[in-house]
Amino acid sequence: MPSQPAKALETFTNPAPHRDYQIHMEVPEFSCLCPKTGQPDFAVLTLDYVPDKHCVELKSLKLYIWSFRDEGHFHEDVTNRILDDLVKATKPRFMRLTARFYVRGGIFTNVVAEHRKKDWQPTPRVDLAEFPGQSNTRG
């Protein structure tokens, strides 16, 4: 049976809850409808999070994102709604959702929404010195 869009987000147990680590996901084919005109809106979603006890399962995330295709949403609304649903499902230490919407009316819109668990502080990032002949490709 073919997959269908769904609002349910499934999780699995974080395999390394003893440390902070970042999960980075890109969703290049997000779509919903403009609530004013009914025209399609397209965006690239970027999800970055530091899990606590649970991680989001990818197939359920795909079906969840697909569920917005025929719904009308303002960019700000849909970005915050998706973040709220992901936070509710996974209860992460930190989560950031960036939605980069394609041009509408000559305007590109980027919406960035964040969640930080109370009292959580990120571990300091370690930048290792470059060795001769190597380039630092991290951004």
Which of 34, 48, 52, 85 is labelled catalytic? 34
Its pTM stands at 0.87
- Whether the per-residue pLDDT at 133 is higher than 80: the answer is no
Give buried/exposed letters for 8-19 (b at 16+ CB in 10 A, else e). Answer: ebebeebeeeee
Q: What is the pLDDT of residue 124?
A: 85
Answer with the residue of higher pLDDT: 71 or 1: 71
The CATH number given to whatever domain includes residue 92 is 3.30.1130.10
- What φ, ψ does residue 12 adopt, rounded to 5°? -140, 160
pLDDT band at 138 (very low <50, low <70, confident <90, very high): low
Q: Give the pLDDT mean for 22-29.
A: 97
Residue that the structure tokens 């996901």 belong to: 25
Q: Does 42 reside within a domain?
A: yes
Does the annotation mark 41 as catalytic? yes
Range of the domain at 88: 11-15+24-116
Does residue 85 have an active-site annotation? no
Instruction: Kindly state whether residue 125 falls inside one of the protein's structural domains.
Output: no
